[in-house]
Amino acid sequence: MKIFISSPGEKTIRLSIPTRLIFNSLTAAISAGLLRKKVNADLPISGTDLRRFVKELHRIKKIHPDLIIVDIESANGEIVKIGL
C-alpha cells in the first residue's frame, strides 16, 4: 500500500507499507471487534466477513497492482493519494 501526502510549504510524505501488514486475518478480526464495540453493536460485519474482504483485496492487488484507490486534491493544494 502506498500513501502520498503533500501540502504546500510542508514536507511531502511518501509511505510504502506492505499491504499484508495492514490487511490480514488478525487485523480483520480485531477491526470487526472494534467496529462492533465502538461503532455499532448491531453492525452486521463479522471477522469472517472482513477476512473475506481482505482476501478479495489481495486478489485485486494482483489484477490492478498500481491502482490508486483514493485521490484527493483540496482547493488549498493539499494532495492525498492512497494506492494498493
Partner 1 sequence: MDLTIGKKIAGLRKEKGITQEELSELLDVSPQAVSKWENDLSCPDIMLLPKIANVFHVTVDELLSSSPKKETVMLPAEQRKSVDDLVFRILINSSDGDKVRVNLPLPLIKVGLEIGMRMPQVSKNESLKDINFEELFKIVEHGVRGKIIEIEGKDGDLVEVVVE
Binding site for partner 1 (CB under 8 A): 43-46, 49-50, 52-53, 56-57, 59-60, 63-64, 66-75
Largest Cα–Cα distance of the chain, in whole Å? 44
Q: Which is nearer to partner 1, 9 or 44 (CB)?
A: 44
Place of cell 507499507: 17
Strand partners, 14: 4
DSSP 8-state assignment for residue 9: T
Decide: helix, strand or coil at residue 69: strand
Shortest Å distance, C-beta 64 to partner 1: 6
**Shortest distance in whole angstroms from residue 73 CB to partner 1:** 5
Pick between residue 21 and residue 63 the one whose CB is nearest to partner 1.
63
